[in-house]
Amino acid sequence: MSVENNKISLDIEAYLKEHENKDMLRFLTCGSVDDGKSTLIGRMLYDSKMIFDDQLAAAESESKKYGTTGEKIDMALLVDGLQSEREQGITIDVAYRFFATENRKFIIADTPGHEQYTRNMVTGASTADVAIILIDARKGILTQTRRHSFIVSLLGIEHVIVAINKMDLVDFSEDVFNEISQAYGELANELGIKNTYYIPVSALNGDNVVDKSKHTPWFNGKPMLGLLDSMDVTKEAKAEDFRFPVQYVNRPNLNFRGFCGTIAAGSVKVGDEITVLPSGKSTKVKSIINAGDITEADRNTTTTEAYAPMAITITTEDEVDISRGDMIVHTKSLPRVSNSLKTMLVWMDEKPMEIGRSYDIKRATSVVSGSFEHINYKIDVNTYERTQVDTLELNDIASCKMLLTRPIAADAYKDNKLTGSFIVVDRITNNTVGAGMIVGVSRRDEDAKKIASKNYTDAEKALNTYVRKHFPEWNCKEV
């Protein structure tokens, strides 16, 4: 039994308390097919003693049936859970695993390497702080390496660990390691990836995964787990950039109306002046009720200050119309409000995207009907070239102009992942067909010149009337 398992069996409450205050780091593994992503995670879990006895016994049994490592345990089988994954020896869906060290908790997303499952890789990368990109030391940088590196850059992941794997098959050559590191460094500079780290590993044998390898005396860096355990991925948060998407209006009786949700960014205090968007109405915070404490004795108690990512309920000094999907922000730090957004869109459906077709756009707690008016360009993720297209196919990535039926308060994705991202839902099938990032928010007057030359529907006229009434500063013409 591992040390962690022994702690759990002796005193589960003490074990949970020990982990309560540890910070969380989310990372994903990506790269080309058969680069060893699942094997690396399996080895990390195995060598860090985070495998339960029944899991280990199952892996030993499965290794005899599906394994490709002879008498050894096939570490990939500790992660690949689908029957088809075990039979083919590939990852198809995103597999999530949890483990912890003395200093930090981790959530791992093992993403597929096949091109047809690029959308699954995007899903796993969307919440990650760090990306581990595996490169086969025998093959060097491949097309899928470039594809996944582009997606990592697109999703704003600033820390990339380049694990040059299967070093045992090239006799742990320092020259091979340096050559691949230099080549990827040029790729990282091209994509604007800020922080890169290079580690020579053998996931199969455990070299430089948890412990330093005696086979690489020329490598002076930390092993994989040591680097993950000590890496600083915190971003400086601006307290004034308070973002609170309203999820639920709590009205238990005539004497109470509270607005519930999870703080997406920044912090708020009692007495702060706040503005509700898109209506633009302002008021002050009357009270903050913290419903996220651990113990029942502290639950549903008021507090004077709250910060991301706390789940809270806010009451206001004035009776202001606030509904689910609205955004509460600090009056002194207003985001731009518009129904015209420049986006980067990843198409995830077999059915092609149609220009002008109405979709449901889900962003934070809001659901708005919208359409894509224009595709600015599609990006070839293999060469990074931009091409002009009229539609998007499965796994295509493109810059698009999105028009919504009503304005929303939006941030750029690089500033706030939660308020700057969205998913696209087919209104007929209710399938999620796309995911996107907000790149820019257009000013309403940029579209004003187009009004006179268009034939507008009743819904569009109603939208224009709404905008002219509530946002006169945009100087929209009447339609």
Q: Do 131 and 271 reside in the same domain of the chain?
A: no
Give the integer Cα–Cα distance in Å for 247 and 227: 37
Cβ neighbours of residue 310 under 8 Å, at least 6 residues apart? 262, 263, 290, 292
Domain annotation covers residue 457: no
Quote the pLDDT of residue 450: 43
**Parallel, antiparallel or unpaired: strands 195-200 and 159-165:** parallel
Judge if the upstream peptide bond of residue 472 is cis by omega within 30 degrees of 0: no
Q: Do 200 and 304 reside in the same domain of the chain?
A: no
Domain annotation covers residue 238: no
Domain annotation covers residue 267: yes
Q: Do 261 and 314 reside in the same domain of the chain?
A: yes
| H-only helix segments in 89-220 | 118-125, 143-154, 174-191
Query: For residue 58, what are its two tokens?
Result: 């199952």
Domain annotation covers residue 293: yes
Give the integer Cα–Cα distance in Å for 93 and 148: 15
CA distances from 117 to 114, 127, 282, 375 (A): 6, 17, 46, 23
Question: Whole-prediction pTM value?
Answer: 0.76
Q: What is the DSSP letter of 260?
A: E
CATH number at residue 124: 3.40.50.300
Tell me, what amino acid is at 448? A
**Within the chain, what is the greatest distance between any pair of CA atoms?**
76
> Do 367 and 405 meet the contact criterion of CB atoms below 8 Å apart?
no
Q: Do 250 and 161 reside in the same domain of the chain?
A: no
Domain annotation covers residue 474: no
**Total number of domains constituting the chain:** 3
Q: Do 310 and 364 reside in the same domain of the chain?
A: no
Domain annotation covers residue 459: no
pLDDT, block means (10 residues), the chain with 479 residues: 56 64 84 76 76 57 54 57 39 67 84 64 82 92 86 89 94 96 93 92 90 94 93 69 93 90 93 93 92 46 84 92 94 90 92 94 94 93 87 92 92 89 93 92 53 49 60 52
CATH number at residue 363: 2.40.30.10
Q: Do 117 and 218 reside in the same domain of the chain?
A: yes
Domain annotation covers residue 236: no
For 212, other C-beta atoms within 10 Å of its C-beta total 16
Helix/strand/coil for 177: helix
Residue where one domain finishes, among candidates 206, 230, 254: 230
Q: Do 286 and 410 reside in the same domain of the chain?
A: no
Quote the pLDDT of residue 434: 92
Give the integer Cα–Cα distance in Å for 260 and 17: 27
Q: Do 100 and 22 reside in the same domain of the chain?
A: yes
Residue where one domain finishes, among candidates 180, 203, 230: 230
Tell me the HSE value of 288 on the side-chain side, using a 13 A CA sphere: 22
What does the H/E/C string look like for 195-227? EEEEEECECCCCECCCECCCCCCCCCCCCHHHH
Q: Do 116 and 212 reside in the same domain of the chain?
A: yes
Q: Domain of 367?
A: 336-442
Q: Do 326 and 182 reside in the same domain of the chain?
A: no
Domain annotation covers residue 475: no
Q: Do 257 and 325 reside in the same domain of the chain?
A: yes
Residue where one domain finishes, among candidates 230, 255, 271: 230
Q: Do 263 and 364 reside in the same domain of the chain?
A: no
